[in-house]
């Protein structure tokens, strides 16, 4: 998440990644406001849906990881799990395959929460909180 990342682990922190996601969301919102043809709009909506899936997945990982820094059932742990729950609920209600119009995502998993690979971990942690 945060701290020293000596080579070869010299990638951006999770906090930096979240900030970049927020910047990309603002760009996506401006793109959605453009006056474009129906076909272009469909492609933008497909990209937006896949981006939102990715952003919610990164945030789910982020808040699950942050929750481990707090004692079980503590106020801090509950706050982090509440944020994780918001992301998980979004993912659970937005199927990945539904995003495809012109792209190659039609064969992907239908449940985006399942596609994160941490659905079982999330559900167990949420039950403990």
Query: How confident is the model at residue 24, as a pLDDT?
Result: 94
Query: How confident is the model at residue 34, as a pLDDT?
Result: 95
Give mean pLDDT in consecutive 10-residue pieces for the chain, a chain of 129 residues. 61 89 94 94 86 91 91 89 91 68 55 80 81
Identify the CA nearest to 66 among candidates 55, 85, 52, 81: 81
Query: How confident is the model at residue 9, as a pLDDT?
Result: 66
Query: How confident is the model at residue 48, as a pLDDT?
Result: 87
Residue 75, CA distances (Å) to 45, 68, 69 in order: 38, 12, 12
What are the start-end ranges of the H helices in 4-118? 14-32, 38-67, 75-93, 112-115
Query: How confident is the model at residue 102, as a pLDDT?
Result: 56
Q: What is the sign, positive or negative, of the torsion defined by CA atoms of 83, 1, 99, 24?
A: positive
Residue ranges per domain, the chain?
A: 14-128
């Amino acid at each position: 998440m945060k701290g020293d990342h000596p080579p070869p682990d010299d990638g951006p922190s999770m906090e930096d990644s979240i900030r970049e996601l927020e910047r990309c969301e603002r760009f996506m919102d401006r793109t959605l406001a453009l006056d474009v043809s129906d076909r272009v709009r469909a492609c933008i909506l497909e990209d937006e849906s896949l981006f939102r899936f990715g952003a919610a997945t990164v945030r789910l990982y982020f808040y699950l990881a942050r929750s481990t820094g707090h004692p079980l059932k503590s106020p801090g742990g509950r706050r982090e799990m509440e944020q994780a729950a918001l992301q998980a609920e979004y993912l659970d209600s937005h199927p990945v395959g539904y995003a495809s119009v012109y792209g190659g995502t039609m064969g992907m998993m239908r449940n985006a929460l399942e596609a994160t690979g941490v659905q079982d971990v999330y559900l167990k942690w949420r039950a403990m909180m």
